[in-house]
Amino acid sequence: MIFVTVGTQLAFDRMVCAVDRWVNAKDTQIVAQVGPTEVRFSNIKYKSFLEQEQLDYILKNTELVVAHAGMGSILSSLSLGKPIIIMPRKASLGEHRNEHQMATAKRFQNRPGVYVAWDEQQLVVLLNRWSIERFDNVDEISNTAPTEFIANLKRLIGNTQ
Amino acid sequence: MKQKKLLAVASAGGHWVQLLRMRPAFEFLSLHWISTSPGVASQVDHEEFTSVRDANMWDKPGLVLMAIQIAWRVLLYRPDIVVTTGAAPGYFAIVFARLLGAKTIWIDSIANAEEMSLAGKKARRWATHWITQWPELSGDDGPTYIGSVL
């Protein structure tokens, strides 16, 4: 199963359509959170928004995550050890308010288990690659921030025992 | 000594995921959470939680309602400390809690690698601690860097 998500705010039809066209030729099951959109997709199971419990279940059971370059999607995938393909939204195409997702994609592009699709064509190339290789090189992260960050934050809060 | 009260605030999505990663820093404190989706309460189910209206800078009526909901919660709870990763609900929480004398900690989302977020810039004058997760953005008259949630 592949889980496709556009996050919790805005639709991202350019990415979901690319997956919808790709899956036409494959037998992979796709589940998607597509956000607020009028577009109808023909080859995938989708909802505008999934409940938290559904999200937790799907994330746990998916083999691959395809997502916009949002931090929630990236952190959630990596903390479950799931490989993720991220496609940054472009403000120039009206997909977000600024280009911070391009910056996020650049910062994460060399991290094991994170694959960046800069456009729809590269997304299809990566999906085809995943069908053959599966991506099992994920650099899994823990559920919590690093110890040093926690210690520094505790100090700021004044939460020292 | 009376247990300190911490209000932890983030809109649903990436901001919330980052805030949850900070949970170990909140242990032994009295804790109340605020987010913009009732569904995420399941992720902190044994703790107090308030859901507020979701809105952004482009939805003024929604923002007003959100601000009222947060002001009300802040007045009832009277936090000693607010920690937020943003965006709009974090801004309001910091403003109201600061007016009541609380310590206010703004931790800008790790998604903002090149400049502080819009809400973060607005929150600056209300935050007793103004934090970035990117060392490149920190500086003497900029935000402080204390590490990142990743």
Q: Identify the segments of chain A with pLDDT beneath 50.
A: none
B111 to A101: CB separation less than 8 angstroms, yes or no:
yes
**Residue of A50, A86, A44 lying closest to A65 (CA atoms):** A86
pTM for the whole structure: 0.94
Q: What is the CA radius of gyration of chain B?
A: 14
Residues of B within 8 A of A54 (CB-CB) are none
ipTM of the complex: 0.95
B18 to A161: CB separation less than 8 angstroms, yes or no:
no
Helices (H), A62-108: 71-79, 100-108
What angle is formed at CA A46 by the lines to CA B49 and CA A69, rounded to 5 degrees?
Answer: 70
Q: How far apart are CA A151 and CA B21, in angstroms?
A: 13
Q: What is the pLDDT of residue A30?
A: 96
Q: Is B27 in the A-facing interface, judged by CB distances under 8 Å?
A: yes
Which residue(s) pair with A87 in the sheet?
A: A68
Burial B64-89 (b: 16+ CB within 10 A, else e): eebbebbbebbeebebbbbbbbbbbb
B21 to A7: CB separation less than 8 angstroms, yes or no:
no
Q: How many residues are listed for chain A in this entry? A: 161
Residues of A within 8 A of B26 (CB-CB) are 157, 159
**Residue of B123, B46, B110 lying closest to A146 (CA atoms):** B110
Q: What is the pLDDT of residue B46?
A: 67
Q: What is the pLDDT along chain B (150 residues), one digit of tens a residue?
A: 678 999 999 999 999 999 999 999 999 999 999 999 999 998 997 689 999 999 887 899 999 999 999 999 999 999 999 999 999 999 999 999 999 999 999 999 999 999 999 999 999 999 999 999 999 999 988 999 999 999
pLDDT tens-digit map of B49-60:
999 999 887 899
Q: What is the pLDDT of residue A26?
A: 77
Cβ–Cβ < 8 Å for A83, A73: no
Q: What is the pLDDT of residue B58?
A: 83
Q: Is B5 in the A-facing interface, judged by CB distances under 8 Å?
A: no
H/E element, B6 = strand B5-10
> With a CB-CB cutoff of 8 Å, which residues 83-122 of chain B face chain A?
83, 103, 105, 107, 109-114, 118
Cβ–Cβ < 8 Å for B31, B48: yes
Q: Is A36 in the B-facing interface, judged by CB distances under 8 Å?
A: no
Q: What is the pLDDT of residue A159?
A: 84
Task: Quote the tokens at residue B26.
Answer: 């909140």
DSSP-assigned letter for residue B39: G
Which residue(s) pair with B31 in the sheet?
A: B6
C-alpha dihedral sign at A85, B107, B13, B67: negative
**Residue of A66, A70, A113, A63 lying closest to A88 (CA atoms):** A70
Q: What is the pLDDT of residue A113?
A: 96
A149 to B148: CB separation less than 8 angstroms, yes or no:
yes
Interface with chain A: mutation pick from B112, B114, B116, highest number of A CBs within 10 Å: B114
Q: Which residue of A101, A143, A156 is in closest CB contact with B105?
A: A156
Q: How far apart are CA B37 and CA A150, in angstroms?
A: 26
